[in-house]
Chain A
Amino acid sequence: MELGAIIMMIIIGGGVFGGFIYCLQLAIRKERAKKEMD
């Protein structure tokens, strides 16, 4: 694989999958915090 493609894969893949997983984790943390407060 070319270097440019590898960099793009990291940026695009990391941005999309990473962003998705980050948002999910944030939602999990917030839900847990809400439950503890309740």
Chain B
Amino acid sequence: MEAKREVFSSRWGLILAALGMAIGCGNIWRFPRIVAQNGGGAFLIPWLLFIFLWAIPLLLIEFSMGKATRYGTVGAFNKLMGKKYSWMGAWVGFCTMAITFYYSVVTGWCIKYFLAGIVDGGVGTRSTAYWDSFTHSYQPILFHFIAMALGSYIIYRGVVRGIEAANKLLLPSLVVLLVISAIRSVTLPGAWEGVNFLFHPDWKLLLNYRVWLEALSQSAWSTGAGWGLLLTYAVYTKKREDIVLNSHITVLGDYSGALIAGLAIIPVAFSFLTREEAFEVMASGNTGLAFIWLPKLFTKMPAGSLFMSLFFLALLFAAISSIIAQIELVTHIFMDFGIARHRAIVIVGSIGFLLGIPSALSINFFNNQDWVWGLALMINGLFFAAVPIKYGVSRFRKELVNTEGSDITVGRWFDYVVKYFIPLECVVIIIWWFSQAITGNPTTWWKPFEVNSVGTCLLQWGIILAIFLIFNRWIASAIVKKDEKEAKE
């Protein structure tokens, strides 16, 4: 059985794939916006702490689960938590799949804007109208199709010739593009005011709980911890592959990418705008910043359309390297149910394209899905923490994390973080985001068909959770059937 499974050809192939998974749009369009809205330097301190209080422990859990069980999310929860808990793995897989539906739409937007930067010099001068006419047309469906087809094709080629080869091209190119953008950005007149803002510590802000919660949210959404993606990649690792050092490299690489993106974007805003205007730009939301304001700002700099194209190419590379991990995760779940890999990819690609169409056609639907399934990732964190807690955290660390081949070992701090911090963080962050939704929409927060309401989360989560709980026995037996089939072979 082991001989049949394709594995990453080298440790570097795995690390590049893991970095590609982690460095996505969250680093490039979210981090600079969130750091600017939360006081610059002061935000960076809790953000740094959550490396150890969220990202690394969860990635260690994911990596260990995938490597130990050699199953995707459903099978891994089934094997380590017990058959009764297979629904937890199904929930984790569904969350990432739901994110893939609209993430592919974002990838499509990046393709469009990269091409637009090359052929249409007017994107920046009439950016709001351009964005509105694009998103109100049928074009996003075409670009969403291209993104999903491209991601599926890479996965179709296999682990080494597909995932590994794509990331060997995408990751170094992404780093070069981000570094070029950052150098251009900090060499603009007045740009250092932006750099100063990025790192200036306003210590009073550390007493503001909002800064801490935003830092935790950023760490959770950007590093890929709790998505189940690293768990899936870990299935394809060699038996003696290190877990601890590779997880550290993944998180620190992701954070490095975010800092470079911050240096590439924040100084541009401070260079061309007043301080107040720069804050207004940063408060304009992910899509507002990336697709309306940045194209506008790029027109103000020499060779602006070239730098705009380079920026969207970087965003595109970051998005593709993440979406292939997402498609692989869902594909692997289908494979665990006994469906052949190539057939599973066709099914996942087709479902992903069809269910992404509503997000491609409606920004409100897109925002709703981003709200519902982005927040659901916090529940994933809770589920992942539950695995070592049920298994015995110390035992989990000794048997599954600090395994043969580990370059460094993880200490007892892991036990405390997993047992106390991660469950607390999950609960606090969900309550906080819900309270934000309630205070922001005091009369409509409970309505299930509002874009950013508590009601829409509870309705959609409830439906999916109910389905998986009802069919849990069937889900668990499908994994067992696959085991029996492989044992016979």
Contacts and interface: CB of A to CB of B under 8 A. Distances in A.
A13 B196 contact: no
A2 B256 contact: no
Nearest to A6: B199
Contacts of A5: 41, 195-201
Given A15-B48, A16-B256, A8 B41 contact: yes
Chain B, interface residues (CB within 8 Å), range: 20 to 34
B41 A17 contact: no
A12 to B, nearest CB: 5
Contacts, number: 67
Interface string A1-38: 11011101100110111011001101100110000000
B195 to A, nearest CB: 7
B326 interface: no
A4 B248 contact: no
Contacts of A4: 41, 200-201
Given A2-B196, A15-B48, A27-B15, A20 B252 contact: yes
A2 to B, nearest CB: 6
Contact of A30 (B200, B201, B256, B407): B407
Contact of B252 (A6, A9, A12, A19): A19
A12 B256 contact: no
Interface in B239-268: 242, 245-246, 248-249, 252-253, 255-256, 259
A29 to B, nearest CB: 9
A6 B195 CA distance: 9
A1 B45 CA distance: 19
A24 B407 CA distance: 12
B169 interface: no
Contacts of B195: 1, 5, 9
A26 B255 contact: no
A16 B258 CA distance: 10
Contacts of B246: 27
Contact of B242 (A13, A17, A30): A30
A8 B200 contact: yes
A24 B249 CA distance: 7
A2 B192 CA distance: 10
Given A16-B256, A20-B253, A20-B255, A26 B199 contact: no
B408 A26 contact: yes
B188 to A, nearest CB: 15
Contact of B259 (A6, A17, A24): A17
A1 B259 CA distance: 18
A5 to B, nearest CB: 4
Nearest to A19: B252
30 contacts: A1-B199, A2-B196, A5-B41, A5-B195, A5-B197, A5-B199, A5-B201, A8-B41, A8-B44, A9-B195, A12-B45, A12-B48, A12-B199, A13-B259, A16-B48, A17-B259, A19-B248, A20-B249, A20-B252, A20-B253, A20-B256, A23-B245, A23-B248, A26-B245, A26-B407, A27-B245, A27-B246, A30-B242, A30-B407, A31-B11
Interface of A: 1-2, 4-6, 8-9, 12-13, 15-17, 19-20, 23-24, 26-27, 30-31
Given A2-B196, A8-B201, 6 more contacts: A4-B200, A5-B195, A20-B253, A23-B248, A27-B15, A30-B245
